[in-house]
Amino acid sequence: MTMVKDVEARGTQHCETTALGVLLRHEGLDLSEPMLFGLGSGLSFVYWDGKNLPFPFLGGRVKPFELTRNLAARLGATLTVAETASARKAWENVAAPLDAGRPVGLQLDCYHLDYFTTRIHFGGHVVAMYGYDDRDAYLVDTGPQGGAVRTSRDSLARARAERGPMTARNRSFTLTLPAGPPSWQAAVLPAVRHCAEAFLAAPIANLGHRGIAKAGDLVPGWLRRAADPRRDLPQAALLMERAGTGGALFRALFRDFLQECTGLVDADGLRTGHRLYAEAATLWTEVSALIGKAGESGDPALLERAGAVLHDLARIEGEAMQVLRQV
């Protein structure tokens, strides 16, 4: 058995920040999950629908692995990424750093992992791996997925090799911090401004605050869009609220990040942004509840209400980001 020492599984909520926390703590830097999310400029929004999708996808964050790249750049860390189509090489890319005593981040499709109870394909899932034996791989996932968990090496290989939306070719990565503690506090305001600018300047109407408004236009038609409303709408609501795809989780992380920032920088814009995102997080929970109830009851009026709240959210988040890009 190979096992990296002193790896801690915490009750974190988002997969990518969970893995990044494991890798950075091993390097000696311990930051809160909201700070990791914010320094990585992780907040975003996308309304994604298409012929290849059984149901629309609402995403509340930047695309998979962008947060990791942003965070590494802000911390001055060396991000070493390996991708390959070879199953043998994919395992070697993971085993080598583990054998050297370092945890490894993996991007994979969570559908194949033994410990996942909800079987949904999502190729942008990220875990930290800290050990293995002849049969199993030992991982750190989010608190809701069990924290310190394990899955068979066969299931891990299938998860890493899966092809489809948001997948990567057996992607693994490590982080190495520069000598001396990084001055991460100096990166706070640039991270806030970058996130706000990208949110406001999104190139297509499916993204950013315009994407939220588009969702407000389209969600009222979800009973007609769904093949099985009693299945599809509650599942979408569950993903929004528990997985954070387009719901309150990422807004709550960003809210808490801004609150931490107000303890580091005296800026009215940060306090305003924090207040507005506290409101937004609550409203996203309301949207998720309305969508879930609409699927259970078949009542289109609930989706009309959800659409109206989404239009309020587009206004609130747009206003918040206008303030934050000027801090």
Do residues 137 and 263 share a domain? Answer: no
For residues 18 and 7, the answer to whether their CB atoms sit within 8 Å is no
Q: What is the pLDDT of residue 241?
A: 84
Do residues 209 and 300 share a domain? Answer: yes
Task: Indicate the Cα dihedral angle 51, 53, 54, 55, nearest 10°.
Answer: -110
Residue 35 falls within a domain, yes or no? no
- The 8-class DSSP code of residue 207 comes to B
Residue 50 falls within a domain, yes or no? no
Residue 41 falls within a domain, yes or no? no
Rounded distance, CA 205 to CA 81, Å?
32
For residues 22 and 103, the answer to whether their CB atoms sit within 8 Å is yes
- CATH number (domain holding residue 86): 3.90.70.10
Structural domain harbouring 9: 2-30+78-176
Alpha helical stretches, state H, the chain: 15-26, 33-39, 66-75, 87-99, 153-161, 188-200, 208-218, 222-225, 229-238, 248-262, 268-297, 300-324
The 3-class SS string of 242-302 reads: HHCCCCHHHHHHHHHHHHHHHCCCCCHHHHHHHHHHHHHHHHHHHHHHHHHHHHHHCCHHH
Domain count, the chain: 2
Residue 70 falls within a domain, yes or no? no
Residue 54 falls within a domain, yes or no? no
Residue 71 falls within a domain, yes or no? no
Residue 69 falls within a domain, yes or no? no
Q: What is the pLDDT of residue 182?
A: 67
Do residues 160 and 196 share a domain? Answer: no
Do residues 316 and 213 share a domain? Answer: yes
Residue ending a domain, among 128, 159, 176, is 176
Do residues 296 and 171 share a domain? Answer: no
Do residues 192 and 132 share a domain? Answer: no
273: nearest Cα among 213, 198, 207, 327: 327
Do residues 114 and 244 share a domain? Answer: no
For residues 142 and 15, the answer to whether their CB atoms sit within 8 Å is yes
- The count of other CB atoms within 10 Å of the CB of residue 206 is 17
Q: What is the pLDDT of residue 131?
A: 98
Residue ending a domain, among 113, 145, 176, is 176
**pLDDT one digit per residue (tens) for the chain, 327 residues:** 999 999 999 989 999 999 999 999 999 999 999 999 999 999 999 999 987 788 998 999 999 999 999 999 999 999 999 999 999 999 999 999 999 999 999 999 999 999 998 788 889 999 999 999 999 999 999 999 999 999 999 999 999 999 988 899 999 999 999 987 668 999 999 999 999 999 999 999 999 999 999 999 999 999 999 999 999 999 999 888 877 777 889 999 999 999 999 999 999 999 999 999 999 999 999 999 999 999 999 999 999 999 999 999 999 999 999 999 999
Residue 63 falls within a domain, yes or no? no
Do residues 22 and 125 share a domain? Answer: yes
For residues 312 and 240, the answer to whether their CB atoms sit within 8 Å is no
Do residues 169 and 188 share a domain? Answer: no
Do residues 91 and 234 share a domain? Answer: no
Residue ending a domain, among 145, 176, 207, is 176
* Placement of tokens 């809701």 in the chain: 144
For residues 276 and 319, the answer to whether their CB atoms sit within 8 Å is yes
Rounded distance, CA 321 to CA 50, Å?
28
Do residues 142 and 287 share a domain? Answer: no
Do residues 102 and 24 share a domain? Answer: yes
